[in-house]
A and B are shown apart, each in its own frame.
Chain A
Amino acid sequence: MSLVNSSVEGVLEPILERYLRNPHHLMQILRETQERLGFIPKWAVDYISEALALARTQIQSVIEFYAFFYDSPCGKYRILFSDNVTDRMQGNTALLARMLSRLGLSQGQVSGDGLVSIDTTSCTGMCDQGPALLVNNHAIPRLSSQRVDAICTLIKNQTPLEQWPSAFFSVEDNIRRKDVLLSAELTNGQALQRAIELGPQGMLAEMKTSNFRGRGGAGFTTGVKWEACRNAPGETRYVVCNADEGEPGTFKDRVLLNSYAELLFEGMSIAGFVIGASKGLLYLRAEYRYMLEKLQATLEARRKAQLLGKNILGQKGFDFDIEIHMGAGAYVCGEETALIESLEGKPGRPRIRPPFPATHGYLGQPTVVNNVETLAKATLIAQNGGAWYKGLGTKLSTGTKLLSISGDCDAPGIYEYPFGVRISKILEDCGARNAMAVQVGGAAGTCLARHEFGRKIAFEDVSTSGALMVFGNNRDMFEVARNFTHFFKHESCGFCTPCRVGTTLLCNLLDKIADGKATSYEMNELSRLHQLLKTSSHCGLGQTAWRPVYDTMQKFRPSYDRRLQQKDFEPAFAMDAALAPAREIMERDDADAHLGNEL
């Protein structure tokens, strides 16, 4: 009990104070509590519940919703191997097995001495430098056998994380092709000053002239969104930057946050100026926790430079500041209404739309939610004008697009292209000589086969939020689809029936195919589920979760067919194996206690 008392005094109280006992900061309070205590004990839940006047169940449901919150000890060192298909292609399975055997553990188990646990997690956005893992939410990319062995030694010696070799934690930008955004050289505050000179309406006009569309996936015209928010009635307004970047294979926002944060924060301030907001919120995915301090330092420097705070750049009444909220491991929080729920300290279940965030967003107030790349580019538009921007790219897709390229190619990394670039050109540039398929737009995106490589990256052709994974000749596209589908199952929030149950059923069918127990019957079942998920799911996650299976079934059918049995139906379970418990009870294992092969 005294331990609890001193933890309350020493740990919880300062955290609660810092967040002003504001229940909307529940996620941050829980995260910091866990960073201190290793997990969130029940007494802490009770204490926080009391302190924030929140139902215990709300705290419990938040802890149980997010993958990176733990209500029981999970090891002093918590290792999570990134398990995107690109990590698999880079050999994460063998490295995971190696670490498990070195430390004498099985996956998901906490070691007896409470020292370490090892498991897998969804894509951590290190695809160009995988395989990667997270140790206590800090990223270690470029894993090799040596690196895994070194990590095992550090763990065994209980070396504090701060003393691990800093080279382990160094994450590369790998910028391979720069265009207008990545080569921009702006002085901080310059674009914001331009926006102030133009005035909110003038700046909005520039945005609309540019015909610029959001880079988060849906491709909504940014000027129109800003205007809707500006015109919506409300007591106050918010700018939210979506840095959840959970789509497997996407890591361009990570590079913008790491090396172009000024452009982003300036874009948020410009958005705030246009819509009349005084507060901006950056929702940063938990996997990017390692950037938090650096981003906070950038914000602090901007405050000092009068680029944030009160009367920005001497403009009377232009008050704007930015807060960073960390996520806690949930892909669905990239969906804008789930993200807002999460910002409010709740599980990230998507809201019913309409109303849209532009009219009813954070705390019910008009809110603009934009992607990192969108906001960074708004800064360019403020600087150089809408007409200039409109001249880049294609008519329907103006400007440039950042692509995160990974998989079977010589030079994975970030490529900025004007919209309209052909897949074949991209593949040539990144040194993908034997590509058989590319997955554009992440797990939820489109799988293209070789005959489609002449197509273009653009909203009117192949639309993408920025991922492009390359698969060489020897890759098994069935396994690619199975990996993505398991991702969707893991990330389904569970709110609606088709996605909650449907993603599990899809996985069961694919696993049965992988086991060689499936027939054409399962193929028909997959098609039936696809129709349901697409039309009846509540949000984009379920509405697209069928795509990897559907695309690969259309385009890489042999990878399915060769696993199928040539009969009409095969049961999902083995009769004989199902009788094992009965044999055990009877203490028999003779031939007569087994079913013959004829069954």
Chain B
Amino acid sequence: MNENTFVIDGTPIPFEPGQSILQAALKADVFIPHLCFFPGLKPNGSCKLCTVVVNGRPGSACTLLARPGIEVENNTPELNDRRRLMLQMLFVEGNHFCPGCEKSGNCQLQALAYELEMMTPHFNHFFPSRKVDASHPEAFLDMNRCIMCGLCVQASRDVDKKNIFAISGRGMASHIVINTPSGRLKESNFSSSDKAANVCPVGAILPKRRGFATPIGQRRYDSLPISTQTEFLTTRKA
């Protein structure tokens, strides 16, 4: 076997040193479910959807570096069961009404739920009371849909250099806060062309006036399952 190769579910995967298991897998057209990873940003390692088993031990594919010869289990009934369970957790912890959501069809959470055949949310909904902020001329924030992935925080801080978003609170009370005196987005220098405006995996940060430009039914994940779009997932800018 080539020196820079490892194995996922029996398939040899080439990698470049420094790549994570997730990056190498996607490059090799092997899909690993993930939510809090975005190409070009540092992995957050918080959603845990990408949990795989590496040489017998569980770990996050987005933060573990690929190493020669490691054996990774990924697409197994057991791991997918756990992923489905985590998706259900994310659905019940927030308020996700897909039929009425502008992000429907472009939403990674929804796409993964289809991919992993999540038929119901299974648990009782928590129905939390979360904020909506429509104050900014270019974007809506609907925290009912936030899954606490942290991508906007990082994009705004490290790419846009604006440091507009932060995660505050603890445990189930964790929530996004905005770095302005009133806590409202409109007082910030946020713009819909910011990286932070384009990384949200769900419909929590939505550019205004673009909502239904592409009709539901013709969107990214409407026609093709997310698992077949590995190239997009490694190269996307938004």
Contacts and interface: CB of A to CB of B under 8 A. Distances in A.
A497 B33 CA distance: 14
A491 B171 contact: yes
Given A55-B179, A61-B177, A352-B63, A501 B89 contact: yes
Interface in A39-61: 46, 55-58, 60-61
A65 B181 contact: no
Interface stretch (B43-51, B111-119, B194-202, B203-211): B43-51
B40 interface: no
A220 B45 CA distance: 24
B172 A501 contact: yes
A45 to B, nearest CB: 10
Interface stretch (A11-19, A21-29, A446-454, A502-510): A502-510
B89 A498 contact: yes
B166 A61 contact: yes
B82 A535 contact: yes
Q: Which of B45, B93, B123, B168 has the most CB of A within 10 A?
A: B168
Contact of B124 (A57, A64, A330, A508): A508
A214 B165 CA distance: 38
Interface in A516-546: 528-529, 531-532, 535-538
A67 B169 CA distance: 10
Contact of B169 (A61, A489, A491, A573): A61
Interface in B151-192: 163, 165-174, 177-181
A230 interface: no
B124 A496 contact: no
Given A497-B90, A536-B48, A489 B171 contact: yes
Contacts of B163: 55, 57
B82 A531 contact: yes
Contact of B46 (A64, A489, A496, A505): A496
B166 A532 contact: no
Interface residues of B, number: 38
A495 B58 contact: no
B124 A501 contact: no
A503 B173 CA distance: 13
A492 interface: yes
Contacts of A352: 43, 45, 60, 63
Contacts of A302: none
Q: Which of B85, B148, B178 has the most CB of A within 10 A?
A: B85
B89 A536 contact: no
B232 interface: no
A347 B174 CA distance: 11
B81 to A, nearest CB: 8
A418 interface: no
B148 A494 contact: yes
A529 B84 CA distance: 12
A65 B85 contact: no
A532 B46 contact: no
B86 interface: yes
Contacts of A503: 171
B86 A498 contact: yes
A330 B89 CA distance: 24
Given A61-B177, A501-B90, A528-B85, A493 B166 contact: no
Interface in A95-139: none
Given A501-B172, A531-B82, 16 more contacts: A56-B179, A57-B163, A57-B166, A57-B179, A61-B168, A66-B170, A494-B148, A494-B170, A497-B49, A497-B90, A497-B147, A498-B48, A500-B172, A501-B93, A532-B86, A536-B48
Interface of A: 46, 55-58, 60-61, 64-67, 330, 347, 352, 489-498, 500-505, 508, 528-529, 531-532, 535-538, 572-573
Q: Which 5 A-B pairs give the minimum distances between C-beta atoms? A: A57-B166, A494-B174, A501-B89, A61-B168, A492-B171
